[in-house]
Structure 1
Amino acid sequence: METLRKATKFDINDIMNIEKESFAEEIQENKDVFLERIETFPDGFFILEDRNKTIGYFSSELWNSVPQKGDSCFSLNHSALKNHKKEGTVLYISSIAILNEYKGNGLGYRFFNESVDKIIKLFPQIKEIVLLVNEIWLVALHIYIKCGFIEYGRIQNFFSSNGMKSDGILMRKTVER
């Protein structure tokens, strides 16, 4: 049975193991970035566990507005401390990942929705949700579209994997209450 809880700094090694398994080396974010995210917005950083084993993480920030495609807040390893605004009305989903052995059974969809729902309940000022996804991550794209997200822009050649470049798709969704 999977459970969701807030991340702490003591989860960092598990988070980094999931990051390494889930993303190409060129786009992995570093340990200090994740520690800053946990410290900056603990109510927006969750751990997914299965029988006390960490199997996934979800991190996010609150922003004041929906950024456009050239904004530096989308850059890898960006500072959550610099971008996060406690009273922000935009929830930015900075990263989500699940161990490969747990993929393929709808867990990603459930984890994503449960995480977003918890944050929206805690922060009623949130009006919109924004994320950036690699155009080749078809399963993730399917989840976001199924959740009602729409594309509002692209960042050309944002992602890199094994020397190949791919676009980042900017997606947004209005929060309905």
Structure 2
Amino acid sequence: MKNSILTLAFATTLIFTSCVDRKTSDNGEVEIKSQSEQVTPEDMYQTSGKEDAENPEDLTEINSAKKVINDYFDALSRGETAEAYEEMSQTSDRGTSSEFAEKHSNIETVTLSFTEDPKVTSGAEGTDVKMPLRYTIKTKQGNTETYNGSVMVVKKNKEDADYKIQGMTMTREDS
């Protein structure tokens, strides 16, 4: 895969260089300026432009955590509170499944957006991802409630462990 990307980049550079640096003299002859530019493997990876770009392992963890959060809010939007309940860690403050269902029974739709860069922390017990986000709930009565804060998603260091939502620190915005 890397070799094909490097080959493609080299071919693109050659074509671009030959087309851009071509000049025609007064007598109609084409002059090509040679331009030496070395492409390194680091140049091949697209980054966000930040100096401290996430490492690939962290990006994998972040994407896994985002999936759990998206699944949770998607289940709430569909009225599948049992499914959303299962996305929560057993050690979270989710309560019983009936309490959870009653608390979230008024939700019609949820709109979610991730707001800032998440923070990944790996330790002896597992991996934690603190995911800043903002979401808006439309209730069955047509009201909207917007919350801003972060969700802590955790995964234990076990072979078959999945990420689960440990807790949410959210503040309701004034509307």
TM-score, normalised on structure 1? Answer: 0.26
Higher relative contact order (CA 8 A, sep 6+): 1
User: Of the two, which has the highest radius of gyration?
Assistant: 2
